[in-house]
Chain A
C-alpha cells in the first residue's frame, strides 16, 4: 500500500506540475485574436494584453522606408468599418502589399500608431499548408 502511494504521489506531482506550467503559460502568453472593428470597440478592454489583429492594408496607405526599415500603413477592417495606423520596424514581408489581408501582432495601446512586433502576410488563394506541414 505504501509503495503504491509513493507512485501515485510521484505521478500526481508530475501531472500537477504539467498542469501548472500549462495554466500559467497560457495566462502569460495569451493573445487575443480580433478584427480591426473589435479592436476599436471601446466596450472591449485589451489593456495589458497582446493582440493579433486581422485586417486589410488600406489602399494608398503603405509607406516603406528602406533605409530605416520602417513600415507604416493603415490597417482597415475587412468589412470596412474602422482603421488603425500601424508602425512596424523590420524587413518588409515578401507578400506584403496594399489591399492584401494581413495580421499584425503587438501589445495593445490606446495611442496611435499601433506598434506591431510582427506582421504576417497570407496568400489565401494558393498556399497549401499540408505540403509544408
Chain B
C-alpha cells in the first residue's frame, strides 16, 4: 500500500512536469496534439494524487503506525471522524491535501473548458501544472508523507486536542479551497498575457472561479474565527496572528479584484491594475502558505520550523518575475481606452474602494513581516501586536463601509448634483439618525457611532436599490411586488447577489465593532453556591464534577444563569486533560443571543471545589456569524448558474466570434 502511495507521488511529479512542457510546446508551436497530451497529463496527475491521498486516508483510518505521519497525528482512541481530519492536521498531510484540491480544480477547469477558450487553455494547464509540480516536488523531496518509522509504536501521539473539534474539521478545507482556487483565475490571466487576448474574455471565463475562491477564502477565515472563539477560550475570535493575516491578505486583494473587474468589463479601464491584483492575490496565497510553513515569523500558534522556507520564497519569486515580466511585455496593449471622468462617479468610488482594500492588505502585510524587516534593517527584533492592526485598519475599514453605500447608487461617469440629492438624501438622513440614536443611547466611541451610522446608510441604499428595481418591474411587466422582486434578482443575479453580500458584510461590521468596543470581561473566584454578576446576568456556581474515559479526563463546573431574577439557562464550562499528548485544554460554554453572548471559561477548579471563572459579555457578536450566513446566501445568488446568464454569455461568445470573422 505504502509503496503505491509513494509511486503515485513520483509519477505525479513526472506527469505534472510533462503537462507543463507539452502544453507550452503545443501552444507555442501550434501543435494541437501536444496541447491535448498536456491536458491528459494534468488529468493523470489528478488521478495519481487521488491514489496517494486514498492510501494516506486508509493508513490514517486503520492506524498504520509504521508511517511516521500516522503515528504522529492519530491514536487508537481517536474517533474515526478526527482520523480523517488528521489528513490536514500536519505538514505532510496538508501539503498532500493541497495538491489534491489543486489537481481536482485543474481537472474541473479543463473539463469545463474542453470546447471553449482553446487558445487560453494550454497556458492554464501549464500554470496550474507548474504549481502542482512545485507542491508535489515538496512532497517527494522535502516532506515525504509516507516516511516510515523503523520501530512502529503501539500507540500514536494523537491529534492536537485543539484540533479535535467540529470547526477544525471544516475550517482548513474551506481555507485551502479558497487558497487553491485562486490558481485557476491566475492561470487564465497568464493565458491572456501570453496569448495577447487581453479583452475581458479571461475575466468572464474565470469569474465563477474567482467568486468561488473569494467565497471559500472568506468562509475559511470566518470558520477559523469561529473555531478560535469556541475553542481557544480567550473571548475573542481574531488575534491578528501571522497565520490569520496570511489568509486575510489574499481575501482583501481578491475582494478588490472582484470589484475592479466590473470597471474593466464596462469601461475597458484598469487593465494593468486588474492584472496586478490577480497576480498579487495568487502570490499572497503562496506567501500565506510560506508564512504558515516556514516558521520565519514566530506566531503565538506557529512553532513549526521547517526547511521549506527558501523553496517557497524561490517559487514565489519565480511566479512574480514570470507574471510581471509577461505583463511588462504587454504593457502597451493594456492601455485603457477610456479615462476617468469625475471624482464624483461610480468609477472613482470603485477606485477608492480598491485603494482602501489594498491599503488594508498592505498594512496587514507590513505589520506581519515587521519583525523580520526590523531585524534586517536595524538589527533589533520589534513586533507589533493587535493594537497596530486595529489602529491602522479600523479607520480604513470604516471608510470602506461608507464607500459600500456610495458605490452602488452613485451615477457612472459623472454624478450630477441632482443625482446625489436623489440617491443620497434618504440614506444620509437615516445614517445621521442612526448615529444620533446611538449617541442618545450612551454610545461614546467614535468608531462605534460611525459604524452604526454608516451601516444604516448602506442598508438604506441596498433596500432602495431592491425597491426601485422591483417597482420599475411592477410597472413594466405587471407582476406583483413579490414576483417582481424575485424576477429582478433572477434577471441580474450578480448585481443583487452582490447587494446581499453587502448586507452580510454590514452585519459583520456591526458584530465586530460592537463586540470589540463594548466587550465586558471579568474574573471571579467563587465557592459552590456563591453568585456573581456580570452585566445583566447573575451566575450561580452550583456544582462540579469529574469525568474520565481512556481519551481524556474532564472537570466540569455547573453554573445557573439568571437574568432579572429568573433562571434562563445552565452553563457547563470544562477543563479537559487529554492523555495523548498529556495536555490540558479549555472547553468554553456560552449562551449566544442576538443581543449578546455570555461566554464562560473555567479557569481553575481546586480540590475544595473553589472555582475561578473568566466571564465575558460580547455584544452583538451573533451578527458576525449571521452576517457570514447572509454572505453565503448572497454568493449563492451571485454564482448560481442560471438560464439568463448562460444565454447572455452564449450570445456574447457568438457575437465575439462573428466580430473576429468579420
Contact = CB atoms under 8 A, between A and B. Distances in A.
Contacts of A90: 523, 614
B244 A124 contact: no
B396 A21 contact: yes
B167 to A, nearest CB: 11
Contacts of B382: 30-33
Contact of B606 (A66, A120, A128, A131): A66
B538 interface: no
B652 to A, nearest CB: 31
Nearest to B289: A130
Interface in B68-101: 88-91, 94
Nearest to A125: B581
A3 B343 CA distance: 8
Interface residues of B, number: 71
Interface stretch (B186-194, B294-302, B315-323, B488-496): B294-302
Given A91-B523, A94-B584, A131 B348 contact: no
A128 B91 contact: yes
B69 to A, nearest CB: 11
A69 B91 contact: no
Contact of B90 (A28, A92, A128, A133): A128
B159 to A, nearest CB: 9
A112 interface: no
Main secondary structure of the interface of A (DSSP, over half): mixed
Contacts of B612: 66, 69, 91
A33 B604 contact: no
Contacts of A52: 383
A94 B303 CA distance: 17
B311 interface: no
Given A10-B348, A29-B387, A92-B603, A131 B88 contact: yes
Interface string A84-124: 00000011101100000000010000000000000010111
Interface of B: 88-91, 94, 157, 160, 162-163, 168, 172, 175, 224, 227, 243-244, 246-247, 288-289, 292-293, 299-304, 339-343, 348, 351-352, 355-356, 359, 362-363, 366-367, 370-371, 380-385, 387-388, 391-392, 395-396, 523, 525, 581, 583-586, 601, 603-604, 606, 610, 612, 614
6 contacts: A7-B340, A30-B388, A31-B385, A69-B603, A129-B304, A130-B302
Interface of A: 3-4, 6-7, 10-11, 14-15, 18, 21-22, 25-26, 28-34, 52, 66-69, 90-92, 94-95, 105, 120, 122-133
